[in-house]
Amino acid sequence: MIPLTARSDHDSAVRYPREIAAAVTLPAAAAALVAPGDGPLRGSAATAVVTACGALATRMALVDFLAAPGAHDPRTLRAFDPFHDDTPPALSGIGPRPSRSRLRTAGDRCVEAWRTWHVQDGPADGTAGAAGALALAAWCAWALGSAARAETRARYALDLRDDDALAGLVLRSVLADSRPTWSPR
């Protein structure tokens, strides 16, 4: 049986390797999601997005980053800490209205990252990250008010990982006809 956590000599918990990889690639993924231009994601950028989306803590940081007004430096991002950080209000569609173009670009790039993963790795590897990328894309669509697109992306994410928390939240929000209530800038 594989232990749920690895322990050091000092009995301090060590995060799972997927969470470490997600945290390390978080700044690169954030930069790839909001980089100017309309070109498709290159291989390394798509890999960074899928890897960073492999953990819920990094996706929560990406939600906050994508919804934040103004330009923020992706290099300053860190993973969400559920013990110390408040849940990002943007997760439930509260706060200043995010940039529509920023959310649309990020959502489309998350889908591109999933497609790249699907062609390169397929079901054999990285389903958590691929599902996570689709779940983030679903949240972006929901935040833009596109319920049908959000539902489709969330269902695809749940087809990959039926336990994806963000995809489940987005799908429940869509089915409950819950919509963001962004305040004007």
User: Between β-strands 13-14 and 6-7, what pairing exists: parallel, antiparallel or unpaired?
Assistant: antiparallel
Inform me whether the pLDDT recorded for 10 exceeds 80: no
Question: What pLDDT digit, counting tens, does each position of 87-139 carry?
Answer: 999 999 999 999 999 999 999 999 999 998 888 866 566 789 999 999 999 99
185 belongs to a structural domain: no
For residue 183, the model assigns a pLDDT of: 87
6 belongs to a structural domain: no
Inform me whether the pLDDT recorded for 65 exceeds 90: yes
Task: Confirm if 158 and 168 have CB atoms less than 8 A apart.
Answer: yes
Question: Helix H segments across the chain?
Answer: 17-34, 43-52, 56-67, 100-120, 127-143, 147-160, 165-175
44 belongs to a structural domain: yes
Task: Confirm if 13 and 7 have CB atoms less than 8 A apart.
Answer: yes
7 belongs to a structural domain: no
* Residues of the domain holding 97: 14-175
Task: Confirm if 63 and 139 have CB atoms less than 8 A apart.
Answer: yes
59 belongs to a structural domain: yes
Higher pLDDT, 126 or 24: 24
103 belongs to a structural domain: yes
Count of structural domains within the chain? 1
Inform me whether the pLDDT recorded for 143 exceeds 50: yes
pTM of full prediction above 0.85: yes
Identify the bridge partners of residue 7 per DSSP, sorted by sequence position. 13
183 belongs to a structural domain: no
